[in-house]
Structure 1
Amino acid sequence: MPDANIRIPEEARDRLAAIASGEGLSLRAYLARLAETLLTPQERAERAEKARAALAEWNGYAPTATEQRELDSELDRRLSKVTGR
């Protein structure tokens, strides 16, 4: 597999290199492993849809779009209260 060059700030590179070293890996190996463990936005959406379907099948939970917006707003309100934002 050919290598690719990615430009990032030195501070970010140094931090990632220190993390990789702490795990006994080269920066190259650490980034390759990291890429394999993270989900793309499409993969996250697919996984979320499967989870919603499983929840609906299990207990019938299926909020409408309006209910979902209200739940999201309530969660945002609670998070902002906790974080002070």
Structure 2
Amino acid sequence: MTDANIRIPEEARDRLAAIAAAEGLSLRAYLARLAQTLLTPAERAERAEKARAALKAWNGYAPTVTEEQDLDSELDRRLARVTAR
């Protein structure tokens, strides 16, 4: 496996190294594991599309773009209210 150098702020490196050490991993192993758990934007979009298709097949739910935006706005409003407490 080829290594790569990534430049990040020292504070970020130290924080990641501390998290890795707490889990008994080297920073290299921790970052490799972290990369395997994250989705790219394309993978997230694909997963979301599959979830929408499954939901529609299961119960016929197929919101329009406007309905999705309204629901997102409502969720944002509720989250803002809860986090403000």
TM interval, shorter chain, is over 0.9
SS at match of 2:3: coil
- Extract unaligned runs of 5+ from structure 1: none
Aligned length: 84
Distance in 2 (alpha carbons) for counterparts of 1:7 and 1:83:
33
Query: What pairs up with 1:6-85 in 2 under 5 angstroms?
Result: 6-84=6-84
Q: Percent identity?
A: 83
Q: Which runs of 4+ in 1 moved over 3 A?
A: none
- For residues 6-38 of structure 1, the C-alpha deviation after alignment (integer angstroms, 9 at most, x for no partner) is 011111111111111111111001101110111
Q: Which amino acid aligns with 1:21?
A: A
Deviation (angstroms), 1:2? 1.1
CA RMSD of aligned residues (A): 0.9
Q: Which amino acid aligns with 1:18?
A: A
Distance in 2 (alpha carbons) for counterparts of 1:73 and 1:22:
38
Q: Which amino acid aligns with 1:3?
A: D
Distance in 2 (alpha carbons) for counterparts of 1:83 and 1:75:
12
